[in-house]
Structure 1
Amino acid sequence: MKRILETILVTFAGGVLFTLLHVPLSWMLGPLTAVLLWTSFTKRRLTWPAGMRNAGLALLGYGMGLSFTMESARQISSQLPSMLIATILTVAFSLGAAFLTARYTGVSMASSAIGSIPGGLSQMVVLSEEIEGAETAVVAFMQTIRLLTVIFAVPFLAVHGLAGGAVTAAAGVPPTGSSSTSTGLFSSLVDWGAVIAARPVFFGLIVVIVLASAWIAVRLRFPTPFFLGPILAAGIITVAGYEPPHLPPLFTLLAQWSLGIYMGLGIKLSSLSNWKKLLPYSIAGSIAVVAFSLGLSYLFSKVHPMSLLTAFLSTSPGGMTEMAVTASMVGADVSMVVAYQMFRILFILFIVPYMLRWGFRRFSGGASSRPSRG
């Protein structure tokens, strides 16, 4: 409990500081940064229950699933070819950046490739254990730098560049610096309670459905199941014509806070000894992929009925959760962003590993991959 209390105090300070500095996603990036700095300089170990992280993901997923409509479902189905094209081009560009990184840093091509592809950090680290010539420490370091670069650069560019600095009410949190911010947060909580009291049976049914959807997603081994299950459940309920209650802003803030803590605890900056040589290439490669996504999103916004902001967040090499949170904050089409991000993640998780194994076996003279550790 002492460690959890220390974690709360440290990350609360990070959230408040980033809010005062008007940093996008302040209650996710602030706690994340606070965890990294505190553990790096004090050498103290912070902790956060996985259940709190899962609850935060479920809340975020439910809130964002409410943005799904029948029209968004039709648009998503019509853009499946574009999702495939965007994913293939992003993976190909990432492999190009990986080739340059391997050539000028001396790390193996296998390590550089797996470290550069925009998949989940944990999934790519696990994959590195099954590919001959891949070093787990290198992959973990490169994926960490990619993750940090994207989750800081993309929201900042989306808010202060493409959105012109205007953050909509879709963020779920009143404007920073307003004297009525705290009052607005708690008054909305009271209003939400009144809505629930008016339809307690319907609300109870919604809770059961959301919890069941998360359980089913876990059983089916979905990526980020506690986020993806509730977002699909809420989307289906909304598309079916029902109007489930929206989350109060305070819940959204707490969910982002919990997610930021857990992400910070999962990042290990000391995973590689010769990090100074690899760091600039990892950052440059990550920025290049973000820039490539921006160019790709411009083309997509001209072909499809979607804004440049929505297209950028859809094609950015970030995590589905982080990009969806950013989309809700800047008023982009959350359902479209989630669809593109989910398609890319599933493609990378289920198709890319087989492509990499085949490619490395072919170009390494028939070397086989190491057996899986299960």
Structure 2
Amino acid sequence: MLTFYKQMFLTLCIGLLGALLFQLLHIPMPWLLGAITAVLCVQLFTKIQLQWHKYFRNVGLIVAGYSIGFAFTKEAVQDIQQFLGSIIVLNLIFILLFFAISFLVAKRTELDYPTALTCCVPGGMTQIVAFAEEQGNMNMAVITFYQVLRVLLIVGFVPLLVTGTGENIVTVDGTLSLPLFILLLICGVAGCLAQKVRIPTGYMLGPVFLLMGLNITGLEVPKMPISFLHLAQLVIGIYIGLLLKKEDLHLSKKHVFYAFISAGLFIGAAYALSFIMKNLYELDFRTGFLSIVPGGLDQMGIIAASVHANVTIVTAFQLFRVLIVSIFLVPLVKIFVKKAKT
């Protein structure tokens, strides 16, 4: 047990050093990208054993949820209504793209179609990997690599693309206070309850829904210091950096190539569609792109809060995608898997 805690402390130090180095080099979102890069490099290219408890990631999600929920004012919620049609159409486009990419991967890598579908589901990485493990006869190394690589590419590439676009927004930093700490604790309880009732990304959405309710009722919510968001980026970045294991790299060059191709097609499609959104609604590029790209509700939410995009719009789009993946895509993949077994 002592060794485990030593490895966690070492992992924290490596992530923190990476964050400070990226900040020194003025690389966008250093607390997230620096932590990911440092931990990933040590994990893949050294024999050092790294450990990180999910508890820290969950605390980061609660803090991110507070930051996102803070932006859900009554006016912001009303503004989301105009995007409902686009949310539906864009998800239909990505479903068609998902089937097309899955077919391409199945053909070119000689994977069976159910496995190719599982590899290419756009979002819901944790849920998809858990589903594949339950099947017992799927190639977990390939599925995990495709899912993790997509997340790493999106989380690593998207901040570099959206930072510095649009207007420079000056934000007012929050201050430490007793009401803030009490509300953060209540948000922690809300996150745990949301997770227990199996709400997707419950640790983040619990606080989001709680603060949304407080804002709508007109109660004053204290603003969180930006240093808290940096801490959330650090603990989440370390978690993401540890997702890719050395054994995941022992795949054929064909699988590695098409994993990059599939992720690139999703990112490229989101990039193109974001300009359409910009023209339709006069959205800034970073809000449109973060709303569309299939990177996961938690990752895109914290990036949106960090680069000062419209987090209410980003969260609404990404939340709808999570629901589509949970309600439609995962059951559909299950049907293909059952048919393949019979």
Aligned pairs for 1:232-271 within 5 A: 232-271=209-248
Larger Rg: 1
Give the deviation of 1:260 after TM superposition: 0.7
Number of residue pairs matched by the alignment: 338
Q: Which runs of 4+ in 1 moved over 6 A?
A: none
Find the aligned partners of 1:319 and 1:144 in 2 and give their Cα distance.
11
1:29/1:152 contact within 8 Å kept: yes
Give the deviation of 1:133 after TM superposition: 6.9
Of 347, 358, 364, which residue of structure 1 is paired with 2:324?
347
2:103 is paired with a residue whose SS is helix
Give the deviation of 1:151 after TM superposition: 1.0
Give the deviation of 1:20 after TM superposition: 2.4
Of 144, 159, 184, which residue of structure 1 is paired with 2:163?
159
Q: Which residue of 1 aligns with 2:151?
A: 147
Of 40, 65, 68, which residue of structure 1 is paired with 2:69?
65
Give the deviation of 1:167 after TM superposition: 5.7
Find the aligned partners of 1:159 and 1:152 in 2 and give their Cα distance.
12
1:142 is paired with a residue whose SS is helix
Check 1:21–1:112 CA distance in 2 against 1; reply closer, same or farther (3 A cut): farther
Instruction: Establish whether residue 192 from structure 1 lines up as the match of residue 169 from structure 2.
Output: no
Give the deviation of 1:57 after TM superposition: 1.2
Q: Which residue of 2 aligns with 1:313?
A: 290
Aligned pairs for 1:1-374 within 5 A: 1-129=5-133, 134-160=138-164, 163=165, 168-170=169-171, 192-193=175-176, 196=177, 200=178, 202-203=179-180, 206-271=183-248, 273-304=250-281, 306-359=283-336, 366-368=339-341
Give the deviation of 1:131 after TM superposition: 5.7
2:247 is paired with a residue whose SS is coil
> Which AA in structure 2 matches 1:331?
H
**Greater Cα shift, 250-259 or 327-336:** 327-336
Give the deviation of 1:122 after TM superposition: 1.9
Check 1:204–1:280 CA distance in 2 against 1; reply closer, same or farther (3 A cut): closer
Give the deviation of 1:272 after TM superposition: 5.4
Give the deviation of 1:234 after TM superposition: 1.4
Check 1:21–1:90 CA distance in 2 against 1; reply closer, same or farther (3 A cut): farther
Give the percent of matched residue pairs that are identical in Structure 1 and Structure 2: 30
Give the deviation of 1:47 after TM superposition: 1.7
Find the aligned partners of 1:118 and 1:260 in 2 and give their Cα distance.
20
Check 1:12–1:367 CA distance in 2 against 1; reply closer, same or farther (3 A cut): closer
Structure 2 stretches lacking a partner, 5+ long: none
Deviations 1:52-90 (A, max 9, x none): 222111111101211112222122234233222212211
Give the deviation of 1:219 after TM superposition: 2.0
- Normalising by the residue count of structure 1, what TM-score does the alignment of the two structures yield? 0.83
1:32/1:264 contact within 8 Å kept: yes
Give the deviation of 1:130 after TM superposition: 5.2
Structure 1 stretches lacking a partner, 5+ long: 173-187, 370-374
Find the aligned partners of 2:182 and 2:21 in 1 and give their Cα distance.
39
- Normalising by the residue count of structure 2, what TM-score does the alignment of the two structures yield? 0.90
Measured on the aligned residues, the alpha-carbon RMSD in Å equals 2.4
